[in-house]
Amino acid sequence: LGLPFFRGDEMLGMVGVANRPGGYDDSLVTGLQPLLSTCAALTVAARSETGRRQAEEALRLSEARWQFALEGAGDGVWDWDIEHDRVYYSRVGHAVLGYAEGQVGTRIADWNTLIHPDDVAACVAATMRHLRGEDPMMVSRHRARAADGQYRWCLARAVPMRDEAGRIVRWFGTCTDIHERRAAEEALRQS
């Protein structure tokens, strides 16, 4: 006797019961319905768990690839959660300016205090150009105070993430140390 079990209209599997002389009557099949329902529930749970594990593994691999690609290129990554005013930095995000993990505060104001006072207006203008749709992403070249107290040129690039209502809820970005390149460009201009 082969009895299929379903979730809705989808057949998930079959339960096999050994043959017997004279076969089986409908009362036995009806009596096995709780077993069949249990088999369906266990099958759905097993598929969901397998799917969850596969999705988690795919996400872990994707994150590892992106982290390697960005950090291998020397770019620091940051993520600003606006609602909670919390900035998350990658390991390289701190190291770009010579800071150890935890030396830069977790609020956006903590980062903003590092920007050279003469460059704040340009950073705000870059953000506004992006928000008005004039630039595909926020791009700012500015000086930021490094751990040694000196200002270094950085290239910041960022894009916002919006909720269903269109409100900006996060900013994701990178920070690249362009100090040496900027110095070389200035030396070329001077010569």
Q: What is the pLDDT along the chain (191 residues), one digit of tens a residue?
A: 677 888 888 888 887 777 777 777 778 778 777 777 887 888 888 788 887 888 888 888 777 776 666 666 667 888 889 999 998 888 777 778 888 888 888 888 898 899 999 999 999 999 999 989 899 999 999 999 999 999 999 999 999 999 999 889 999 888 888 888 887 888 888 88
Query: DSSP letter at 110?
Result: H
pLDDT at 123: 93
pLDDT at 14: 80
Nearest to residue 106, comparing CAs of 125, 123, 91, 85?
A: 85
The Cβ-side half-sphere exposure at 26, using a 13 Å CA radius, reads: 0
Give the pair of three-digit tokens for residue 113. 């205090």
Give the pair of three-digit tokens for residue 89. 């930095």
Nearest to residue 154, comparing CAs of 174, 131, 128, 126?
A: 174
Question: Are 39 and 5 within 8 A, CB to CB?
Answer: yes
pLDDT at 23: 76
pLDDT at 5: 80
- Supply φ then ψ for residue 46, to 5 degrees: -65, -40
CA distance 138 to 78: 14
